[in-house]
Structure 1
Amino acid sequence: MKKTLIKNLVMYSAVIFASMTALQAMAHIGYGGRDFGSFTGATLESLTISNQAVTGSHGWIDGTDADWGDSHRLRAYRFHLDNDADVSISFGDLAYTTSTGTSLLGGINPGFSLYSGLAHLAPLGADYDSAPGSVALRDADSGGAFTEGSFRALTDWRITNDNNDPATVFTYVGSAYDGSVDYGSGVIAGGDGIADNFVSQSFHLTAGDYTIFVGGTDYSDQVAPWDSYGLEGVVSVVPEPEIYAMLLVGLGLVSVCANRRQNYAYS
């Protein structure tokens, strides 16, 4: 009887540990399949990433309130700029079936925040909300107030990993969200006013690394289990006017030289 009880306790503990490990793994911030890559900023460039998903429809909006939000209710994307440029960022809903046969919904109203900086990358440990170092950072930044997680949609925030590496600092650049939301304290800034499952915003950015956090804007939908919603993202880069003008001049000179060569050949 005693052996059976101990065996059951061990098995129960293993299940709990496995569940906790799985939850922590879900919470890690990573960019797998969500790297838009590097843009020169000197030419017109655009890249689309499809077949990504976010769990739940409230992650972004939850990061706009006083007790912050849980970062693993969002998806993190990254890109790099070699030169200053105007950058347009867009996200829309996408319904599709994964390679494993899982059906992902459309219909999410997306919101996103843009930050300079990147989460810790391999070989360093991945950042996540419930790491002891992350909790300590939140306690310091919030003055000891209760927080649901580390994510803040409308300002700077910090997070780290199990190794307590120097904190990742996400420096807020700007944000935008689909529709116009007021859950009791006034309309949240940055809404596009039209809840049509699509949001887009342009930013003038300097050279560097950037992270985009994307999630839903349905604050009322916070009852588990949460559905998974498909997303499609687009980053488009337009050179600064003077660089673009120089590019056009260069193309014009190439064209003139080509015409002269052609005329010379026929003379």
Structure 2
Amino acid sequence: MKNRIIVAALAGLFSASAFAHVSYSTRDFLANGVQSGNTWTLSNQRVTSDFGWADGADADWGDSHRLRWAKFRLTETSVVTLTVSAASFDYLSGGNTLTALGDLIPGFSLYSGLAPAAAFEGGDHPDYLANHPGFLPTLNPNYLGAGITGTREGAFNASGDFWLGNKLAEVGAAGWAAARLGYIGQAVDGAGVDFNGDKVIDITGDGSADGTVSASFTLAAGSYSLIVGGARYASPYIDFDAATAQRGFSAALSVSAVPEPEGWALMLAGLGLIGLIARRRTALI
């Protein structure tokens, strides 16, 4: 988003982000999800805003801490369907019972690869500094280190590849092999996202603001990251406190094998035989 809200709010946002590293913890679909047939569901998930995904879809990207991250690994080429649905539920925080709001308009993006463990929006690795466009100096120029500024609000790019950096001492050289997340596709609930308030939809949604969005992809064997957030782009301009309240959702992963070429041939042959039998029966009538 363009320089938004007030300096105090932004300072609070980034001071929290500095300590809240990105994590896949308990959000590995195949390890942590509840399985039913070929579907694995992660329930009672929370995200810390209703605009984080939409924010990352504009030209200056967004804060990865306004999102929730999940992962899965495929051992063979598969057809994958991902579904994210808003949900309200109670949860404990600091000994208090709180409620995650169920009004999320979800958006999600799918990427090949996994971010380094405990990654955050900053890094000192030369590859990161060479490939990442940097952050807006108006937000917090010292967050990445003195003099490291740029043109972005955060590291998250909802509509393309991005690097999620970290301190080299934390992840090691090997961790950087997975530091680049390769964009595959996205889906957004509702009408879509209007970046400029001009009533023109810049990213088309599924047409129904029912709190659920789904998309299917054919994927090769490998590891993948699902990044979920809110799609209300204008929300923080209206009421920043309300926009940053906890939202609840569930995410489901369904996996089906891609038929082998021999399987398609047998299927087509079978359909042809059925058609021939039908024509013969018609001729005898």
If the TM-score is normalised by the length of the shorter chain, which range does it land in? 0.7 to 0.9
Q: Kindly state the Cα deviation for residue 191 of structure 1 after the two structures are TM-superposed.
A: 1.4
Alignment: residue pair count: 219
- Corresponding residue SS for 2:120: coil
Q: Helix, strand or coil for the counterpart of 1:25?
A: coil
The equivalent residue for 1:94 is 87
Alignment check: 8 A CA contact 2:73 2:223 kept: yes
Contact 2:134 2:150 in 1 (8 A): no
Equivalent in the alignment of 1:160: 165
Q: Give me the TM-score of the superposition, normalised by structure 2.
A: 0.69
Higher-Rg member (1/2): 1
Q: CA deviation at 1:162?
A: 1.7
Q: 2:114 aligns with which of 107, 115, 118?
A: 118
Q: SS at 2:133's partner residue?
A: helix
Are 2:203 and 1:189 aligned? yes
Q: Which runs of 5+ in 1 are unaligned?
A: 1-18, 39-43, 250-267
Distance 2:91 2:261 in 1: 41
Partner in structure 1 of residue 140 of structure 2? none
Q: Does the alignment pair 1:23 with 2:17? A: yes
* Correspondence for 1:109: 105
Distance 2:38 2:98 in 1: 32
Output aligned runs, 1:1-267, within 5 Å: 22-26=16-20, 28-37=21-30, 45-100=38-93, 101-121=97-117, 126-133=118-125, 137-139=131-133, 145-163=150-168, 165=173, 166=176, 168-179=179-190, 180-184=192-196, 186-222=200-236, 223-225=239-241, 226-242=244-260, 245=263
Shift, 1:79, TM fit: 0.2
> What do the CA deviations read for 1:172-211 (whole angstroms, capped 9, x no partner)?
0000000122233742335111111110000011100000
- Give the distance between the partners of 1:48 and 1:182, measured in 2 at CA: 30
Q: Distance in 2 between matches of 1:201 and 1:31?
A: 21
For residue 112 of structure 2, what is the amino acid of its counterpart?
S
1:175/1:190 contact within 8 Å kept: no
* CA root-mean-square deviation: 2.9
Change (3 A) 1:98 1:182: same
The Cα shift of 1:36 comes to 0.5
Distance in 1, Cα, partners of 2:261 & 2:24: 30
| SS of structure 1 residue aligned to 2:235 | coil
CA 1:169–1:146 in 2, change beyond 3 Å: closer, same or farther?
same
Aligned to 1:37, what secondary structure does the other structure show?
helix
Query: CA deviation digits over 1:62-117, x for unaligned, max 9?
Result: 01111111100001100000000100000010100013411110011000000000
Identity of aligned residues (%): 37
From the superposition, tell whether residues 145 and 86 of structure 1 become closer, same or farther in structure 2 (CA, over 3 Å).
same
Whether the 8 Å CA contact 2:17–2:65 is kept in 1: the answer is: no
